[in-house]
Structure 1
């Protein structure tokens, strides 16, 4: 089980040294996975722990709190993904005003040197850090010579002739292009979480749902979707899902509501994973509940049709053979 820390200050986490990779890791796409896998492999070669270092909230969310950018992955799903990649220590640093004001040099001293005793530091293309984004790979290498670590960047990972990025994935999801999102992620896009109680309106309307909150973050997609729900039985279960603010019932925060077909059971507290397969339509406001129910029946029928050819298919493997290079 990976260890997790949240603060810049604290005791020495890796007294024997470490190999550190730094990134936002939103979505854990193919580029992130190449970076993490390479750091893990280097740590194994050197016989020291591997560390994935990120931030929560994301810096862009902190600086644009009034209009935060869309998020692909919530913290728990990100942590679980990093653990699955073999990371020994996860640093999910609280990004606040104090951290935002910290110079690149102070960040390196406090985190990479004092806390982690870094031997190697790996970053992605175009990496910037520190107050005002003053730090880059050249500065990281310069400080590494002073403090005894080496710094490297992996080569970009490209799909369809363009570099893989969270921005490309957000654009694909917003357009309902799940095929492109899957290629960039190395797996189908999904949202995981623990089922919470809602107002149970769906049950009274004949469409009980398993509800996942999005923790107040701005999602990268909204609307009505054909989905598959993992974590309920031995096979993924076909479902129709609504993701958004529920305008007909005056909702205010994003909620993912999945109606599992031909299922009758209690899922409260269960951890599930909702895989998005196809976008059916936008959210819309209905004049009343009868109109809403009529449309829900149409949505359910369309979702069943979209999922019918292969409702229990396995997810594509995410461990594509990527060989990053030192830059």
Structure 2
């Protein structure tokens, strides 16, 4: 049986019981990690599978229509991260009109009880679910008690908020830090450096003609949480991270529309098409801007590359001191 599922059709997926944690899990920050790890610990005690349950698209993306909010983590990275945290199975339920219209009570009965045979369900602070966000922890606990009379009861609980600097860790705090170029704060909230991963795709090859060949990552309809020009490091090519300068945005000088992450690796001339890499963000250099012509753009790219090299070298020296 696959460890990843997208719907709840068919018979019980966990016929002998499960411990389920539910959340958006965008970013997999310290709070998310605490929730998943607690569910995994409880699952090991009960000797049942640990299931991390989320949604794709995220509900806020579904309701936003053609103007989706910024996203911290790709679908693939979220699924892989949840499995790495110990989840035995990951559900990324297709959030569509049918699921959006499902009442909180039906969600409990159809998804948690019938399909996952839940023994315990764990959520984070301020968790809401079901049509109109009518469901909450109190409803979960009430239904768990009521269903006990039929032999399908379960326990429900909420983990304590994870705080940093006296404020709860949240995806919103991380997005704000990233947009401000505050990668140190984002790293503390995430528990790791912020990075964007994906498979290198072919672009228009304009960068190569300008003297700056790039490895390009697309976002497949998702909105990245930041934009601008950055000093970065590239993982997944060699054993060590490689220094680079990256542009994330719509490339207004060449009338681009789709967000694209373009990364120029310094002193590097190998074919990366089709390879999965991750771009770690180290420092923001400037905002994206439109230039009058390509020579002016190239002159700025030269300055960006020089600045990125200096910053990365300085940070590397501090790390090894």
Same fold (TM over 0.5): yes
What is the CA distance between 1:190 and its match in structure 2?
Answer: 0.5
Aligned to 2:155: 150
Structure 1, gaps ≥5 residues long: 315-327
Partner SS, residue 15 of structure 1 = coil
Structure 1 residue matching 2:272: 3-state secondary structure: coil
Counterpart pick for 1:226 among 227, 231, 242: 231
Moved more, 302-311 or 13-22: 302-311
Alpha-carbon distance change, 209 to 313 in structure 1, aligned in 2, over 3 angstroms: farther
Structure 1 stretch displaced more, 298-307 or 59-68: 59-68
Q: 1:216 to 1:312 in 2, by over 3 A?
A: farther
Change (3 A) 1:274 1:107: same
Partner of 2:279: 274
In structure 1, C-alpha distance between the alignment counterparts of 2:107 and 2:11, rounded to whole Å = 15
Shift of 1:309: 2.6
RMSD over aligned CA atoms reads: 1.4
Residue of 304, 307, 311 corresponding to 1:306: 311
Equivalent residue of 2:70, what SS? coil
Q: Which runs of 5+ in 2 are unaligned?
A: none
Moved over 3 A (4+): 310-314
1:107 is the counterpart of 2:107: yes
Please list the CA deviations of residues 60-100 of structure 1 after superposition, one character each: whole Å capped at 9, or x if unmatched.
11111132211101100101111111111100001011100
Q: Which residue of 1 aligns with 2:288?
A: 283
Q: TM-score, normalised by structure 2?
A: 0.95
Alpha-carbon distance between aligned partners in 2 of 1:100 and 1:303, rounded to the nearest angstrom: 45
Is residue 237–residue 312 contact of structure 1 (8 Å, CA) maintained in 2?
no
The CA distance in 2 between the partners of 1:80 and 1:202, in whole Å, is: 32
Q: How much does 1:313 deviate?
A: 9.1
SS in 1 for 2:42: helix
Residues 2-58 of structure 1 show CA distances to partners (whole Å, capped at 9, x for unaligned) of 711111323311111110000000000000000001111111111111000000011
Q: 1:233 aligns to what SS in structure 2?
A: coil
Of structures 1 and 2, the one scoring higher in RCO (CA 8 A, sep 6+) is: 1
Tell me how far 1:294 sits from its aligned partner.
0.7
Distance of aligned partners of 1:81 and 1:312 in 2 relative to their CA distance in 1, 3 Å threshold: farther
Q: Which residue does the alignment assign to 2:211?
A: 206
Cα distance in structure 2, aligned partners of 1:149 and 1:282: 50
Summarize the Cα distance change of 1:125–1:211 in structure 2 as closer, same or farther, 3 Å threshold: same
**1:190 and 2:191 correspond:** no
SS at 1:308 equivalent: helix
Q: Report Cα offsets for 1:183-241 as digits up to 9, x if no partner.
A: 10000111010111111111111111110001111111000000011000010001000
CA contact (8 A) 1:236 1:312 kept: no
Aligned length in residues: 314
Cross-structure match for 1:85:
85
Match of 1:120 in 2: 120
Match of 1:321 in 2: none
1:235 maps to which of 237, 240, 252: 240
Q: SS state of the match for residue 48, structure 1?
A: coil
Q: Partners of 2:318 and 2:106 in 1: how far apart? A: 49
2:168 pairs with 1:163: yes
Q: Which stretch of structure 1 is more off in the superposition, 128-137 or 58-67?
A: 58-67
Alpha-carbon distance between aligned partners in 2 of 1:137 and 1:260, rounded to the nearest angstrom: 48
Query: Is 2:253 the counterpart of 1:257?
Result: no
Q: Within the alignment, does 1:248 sit opposite 2:256 as a pair?
A: no
Alignment partner, residue 132 of structure 2: 132
Q: Do 1:9 and 1:110's aligned partners in 2 also have CA atoms closer than 8 Å?
A: no
> C-alpha separation between the residues in 2 aligned to 1:229 and 1:235?
9
Aligned pair partner of 2:184 in 162, 176, 179? 179
1:14-53 aligned within 5 A: 14-53=14-53
Corresponding residue of 1:141: 141
